[in-house]
Amino acid sequence: MTHSQLRPPTMADVARQAGVSHQTVSRVLGDHPNVRDETRARVLRAIEEMGYRRNFSARALATRRTRTLGVVASNTTLYGPASTLFALEEAARAEGYLVSTVSLRRLTMETLSEALDRLSEGGVEGVIAIAPQRSAVEALAELRHPFPVVAVGTGSGAEVPSVNVDQNLGARLATGHLLAAGHRRVWHLAGPEDWQEAVDRVDGWRATLEAADVEPPMLLRGDWSPLSGYRAGQELAGWVGRGLTAVFVANDQMALGVLRALREAGVRTPQDVAVAGFDDIPESEFFAPPLTTVRQDFATVGKRSIALLLDLIEGRTPSGTSQVSIEPQLVVRASTFPYLPLPGAAPG
């Protein structure tokens, strides 16, 4: 056992043991310059001996700072949110902040409000809300909170400071790539209407087609899951031979379902139908066939979000004005091109 049941030592205890005042102990801990080396050493020894650790709550009360940020997220087992969460925590840690997370199953006005309350009671100095559902954005703007909030994935229209990957651009990259490869039309399997990212991807897809003077074909909807992609894929298979040669799917998981459905229907990818996805999850390179997709730089999203939130906390930036946009990147693989095997190599 390494933790004892006794009341932990206080700064005053350490001070007594070292023969100094509590304030000197505080100075040593705070790296204050004006402490004699000999004194500092004595204090450090006492700290070590007694296993002293500064009390977080007392410190926070006196300084009025908790150095803790909150994050509200949903669907955190998916690659995108999980990656964003990771990047946020890492960026916050680099700035000396701790992160408290609330992971919601569903993001609604009510759950969001509860989450913010909870984080507020937890003493956070600011919150990042990963809120891709459009309903959540409005909630954010209306809700009262005693700290700044930065939204991620809400799209850039809001009155709330936000950080976003340019989804429209991503969709244009994918759609444009398919057109450039010689496909006359590109179909689209979209995400739920309620998601801003889904809307932006539809817009980018449609804009690209219209710019090329192509009439957008029927729009299909899924719910991001592989199963919904599978179902849509079954429908798409029915259009092969009737003008369907290319599909832009709004995320990689649905694209996986589409690939399976096409395969089962005897449709070859990419020879009969080319498929592109969105997200570049780690698995997509190994799909059958490897998937062309759009990569989002979640690490940058995390860093920029934390930077913006800290600016807001320190009062360096007027809130409401700041919108950060990040460029995605097209990753071309076999699902839209003749087959390319990986360079072979001996097993590690």
- Which residues from 22-81 bind a second copy, rule CB under 8 A? 51, 53-58, 60-61, 64, 66-68, 76-77, 79
Report the C-alpha gap between 7 and 227 in whole angstroms: 55
Q: List beta partners, residue 190.
A: 221
Q: Which is nearer to DNA, 30 or 338 (CB)?
A: 30
Query: Which of a second copy, DNA, none has residue 10 at its interface (CB below 5 to 8 Å by kind)?
Result: DNA
Beta carbon of residue 123, minimum distance to a second copy (angstroms, whole number): 3
147-176 residues in contact with a second copy (CB under 8 A) are 147-148
**Binding interface with DNA (CB under 7 A):** 7-8, 10-12, 19-24, 26-27, 29-30, 33-36, 38-39, 54-55, 58-59, 61-64
116-135 residues in contact with a second copy (CB under 8 A) are 118-123
Report the C-alpha gap between 25 and 41 in whole angstroms: 11
82-111 residues in contact with a second copy (CB under 8 A) are 82-83, 85-86, 89-90, 93, 98-103, 105
Query: Which of a second copy, DNA, none has residue 242 at its interface (CB below 5 to 8 Å by kind)?
Result: none
3-state secondary structure of 220: strand
Beta carbon of residue 145, minimum distance to DNA (angstroms, whole number): 16
Task: Please tell me whether residue 272 binds a second copy under the rule CB under 8 A.
Answer: no
Residues 6+ apart with CB under 8 A from 211: none
Beta carbon of residue 160, minimum distance to a second copy (angstroms, whole number): 10
CA distances from 100 to 73, 85, 126, 193, 224 (A): 11, 11, 10, 30, 27
Calculate the CA dihedral of residues 185, 189, 191, 193 and round it to 10 degrees: 70
* Residue 200 contacts residue 168 (beta carbons within 8 Å): yes
Beta carbon of residue 324, minimum distance to DNA (angstroms, whole number): 31
3-state secondary structure of 248: strand
Edge-to-edge order in the sheet of strand 246-249: 219-221, 187-190, 246-249, 274-276
Total chain residues near a second copy (CB under 8 A)? 86
Q: Which of 134, 183, 260, 304 binds a second copy (CB under 8 A)?
A: 260
